[in-house]
Amino acid sequence: MAEILFYLFSAVAVGAVTAMILSRNPAYSALYLVLAFAALGGLFGLLGAPFAAVVQIIIYAGAIMVLFLFVLMTIDVKAKIPPERKKRTILAASALALLLLAEIVLAVKAMPSIPAGPGASIPAAAIGRILFEKYLYPFEITSLLIMAALVGAVVLVKSKDDA
């Protein structure tokens, strides 16, 4: 039964992300992302991580998506964005993604070695402890950068007539 649920949640997650990427309507893309987050929550539940499953659904599918939908409602999504603004936005988003990836790699490298093998996993408590103790300031700076990027995206998309 667990195997069938795994394949079902996996198919829903992959299908929702594919539909999100292919969708032309930003509101539909956000709703497909909610579906993908919910499917990932189901996968976490199957892995025996109920806290991660609940956090995935409540925080990501709930709170973060409400924020995304709020931003989508405040901007004119039909307005054409100049190509130079698109390039700057993509460059800034790529830099943020690389920064976050570097933080996660540093946190995992700083963890004590865990024996590899089937069924071996990295405890979430160890990653959290390292992120919130050793890498607290970079973690908080990243959250501020993400918030600044969100505000910057709204500013870049707004037209001069809206001001």
pLDDT tens, 26-49? 778 888 888 888 888 888 888 888
How much is the mean pLDDT over the chain? 75
pLDDT in tens, 79-101: 676 777 777 777 777 776 777 67
Instruction: Categorize the per-residue pLDDT at 160 as very low, low, confident or very high, splitting at 50, 70 and 90.
Output: low
**Domain range summary for the chain, segments of one domain joined by +:** 1-74, 80-163
Mean pLDDT of 70-85: 72
Residue 11 confidence class, pLDDT cut points 50, 70, 90: very high
Residue 98 confidence (pLDDT): 78
- What pLDDT band is residue 119 in, cutting at 50, 70 and 90? low
Whether the per-residue pLDDT at 162 is higher than 60: the answer is no
8: pLDDT strictly greater than 90: yes
Q: What is the pLDDT of residue 150?
A: 72
**Residues of the chain with pLDDT > 90: what percent?**
4
Residue with tokens 């893309």: 29
The structure's pTM equals 0.52
- pLDDT for 1 beyond 60: yes
Q: How many residues does the chain have?
A: 163
CATH number for the domain whose boundaries are 1-74: 1.20.120.1200
